[in-house]
Structure 1
Amino acid sequence: MSFPDITTDLSARLPELRGRLIANQPLAELTWFRVGGPAQILFTPADEADLAYFLARLPADIPVTVIGLGSNLIVRDGGVAGVVIRLGRGFSEIVVEDGHRLRAGTAVPDVKLARAAADAGIDGLAFYRGIPGGLGGALRMNAGAHGGETRDCLIEARAVDRGGAVHVLSNADFGFSYRHSGVPADLIFTSALYQGRPGDRAAILAKMDRVTQAREASQPIREKTGGSTFKNPPGHKAWQLVDAAGCRGLMRGAAQVSPMHCNFLINTGGASAADIEGLGEDVRRRVKELSGVELEWEIKRIGIPA
C-alpha cells in the first residue's frame, strides 16, 4: 500500500525546515517486530526548534504520530496516514550535570542512559538497563523494571505540543501511575533531566550485568518481539494468567506466544502485523474466559489494518 505524496506541498509551506521528509517510508524496518506498512510521511527533525517550526506550520487536518525505537510497537499492515515523527541524532545527547544529574535527549536508548550514569558514578538509573526502548517512550508510559520506574528519577522534561509551543513539565505534571503518564497525547518529549545519587561505578555496572543476565535467562530478547505485551493487572502477573489460559506457544500464522516467556509475542518469520495483533486478542479472550480478568495491552498499536 502507498499513500499520496504530500512532501512537495509540505516543503513549500516549510521553507526553513532543516529536518528530513520522506514519502511512503516503510516502517517495518524501524520496529522490533519487523512488520507493518509505510508512513505516508516520515519526518526526522533536526532539533527541538526544527520540530516546533514544523508543528506550528503543519496543517491541522494532517494527523501526527510519534514513534521511538520501535521496541514496544505494532505498526498495522496498512501503514500510518499523515506524518510519523521519529526523533534522531539531534535528540541523542547525554550531559552529566552537577548534583548527580543527567540531561538526555529522548531519542537516547534507555540502556545508553543507564551506562552513562554508571560511567559517571551515578546510581539510581541502572534499572533502565532492562528496558528495551528509548527515553521518549519511557516518559510516556512510566517505563520501569527491576524495582525502578521513570517517576522515581525524573525531575522534568521538555516537550513540544501540536501547535509548536514548547513546554517544561515537572515530575508532578506527569501524573504518573503504573505504566502510564497523564500528560496530553499531543506532547512530543524532546529531552529530560534525571536525578541520581552517588554510587560506585563498578558496583553499578555489576548491578546492570545482573539485570542483563536475568533478561537473557527469562526473556526471548534475541527474537523479533515487542517486549512485554500486556500490563500486569492489579493483583496479578500477566504472564501467569496467559500461561494458566493455556496460551504458552499458541500461534496465529507465523506469530507465536513465546514458549520462553508467555507475556511476549514473537514473529517467528513472515508474520504480518494482523497475525501478531490477532494473536494478542486471542490471548486476551482466552484469559478473560478462564479467569474473568481483562488484560490491557502494553504494546502500542498504530496505523490502518490491511
Structure 2
Amino acid sequence: MEKESKQHEVLQRASLFLKKHNREPRVAELLLQYFLHVSRSEFFMMMRDPVPVKVAAQFQDAIEKHAETGVPIQHMIGHEEFYGRKFSVNEHTLIPRPETEELVQQVIQTAANEPITIVDIGTGSGIIAVTLALELPKATVFATDISEGALTVAHQNAKQLGADVTFLQGDFLKPFIGKKADIIVSNPPYIAHQDKADLTDTVGKFDPDLALFADENGLAAYRQIIADIPCVMNDSAAVFFEIGESQGEAVRDLLTEEFPASNVQVMKDINKKDRIIQAHIKK
C-alpha cells in the first residue's frame, strides 16, 4: 500500500517540478488547495497533515498536465478570483487579470454609486459588469459580447453572485445602440496578430483569440467602439478602456480625433505601465 506524504512534502515536490519545467511554482499551492477542498487559511494550517494517496495522485496528474501543455489552472479548477469574488471561467473567456481590477476601481470612483447607466463592451466572463453591478447598486448595468459561449459564462456568474446585469449579444457597441449610457467601459481585444508568438503558451494557446487579437496593430476594436460612442452616449459620458502598455498615445489620439473637446488621460497601473484610458466627452 502506497504511503501517504505530508502536505508540505507533496507541495515541495510539485513546486520543484514546476520550476524545472519553467512554470510558476505557486501554481502548486492553488491546485493542491483545490484538490483538498479547503480554504486558504485551512490549507496553511494543514501543512503537516497527510495527503490522501488518491488526492495526491490527482494533484500530480494536474501538475504534470500544466507543466507539459501550459493549460491554465483556472481551466482545470473552473474559476478565478476577481475583486474578492470567485468567477467561473472556461475556454470561451479570458482569465481575469489583476490589472483589470484597477480599471474597475477607476469606474467605481467616477460613478460614485449614482443612478447612472453603464455598459461594459466585450464582457467575456462578465467580471467587469458583474463587479460594477454589485459595487454600484444604484447603477443600471448592461454588457455586450459577440460570443455566445462567453455570454453563457457571464450569465452564470451574474446569477451565482446575485448581480443584476442585462446581457446583449453582438459586436461591441452595436447591440446597445438605441439605448443611452453615462459610462462606457471596455477591456477589448488589443494584441496585434503579429505579437502572438511573444505570448506565453498559457495565454496564446488557451485564451480565446476573439478576446485577444485585433487588426490595425491591435487598435481596430478601439476604433470601432469609438465610432459608435456618439450613438449611445447621453449629453456627456465617461469612457474607460484597458489598453496594452504601448498603446496609450494611439488610443488617446483616436479619442481626441473623434471628440476634439474631450479630456483624455492615460493612466498607469501598479507596475507603472500605461494600462487605462479615461476620457470625459461631450456631444
Bigger relative contact order (CA 8 A; separation at least 6): 1
Structure number with higher helix proportion: 2
Say which one has the larger Rg.
2
Structure number with higher strand proportion: 1
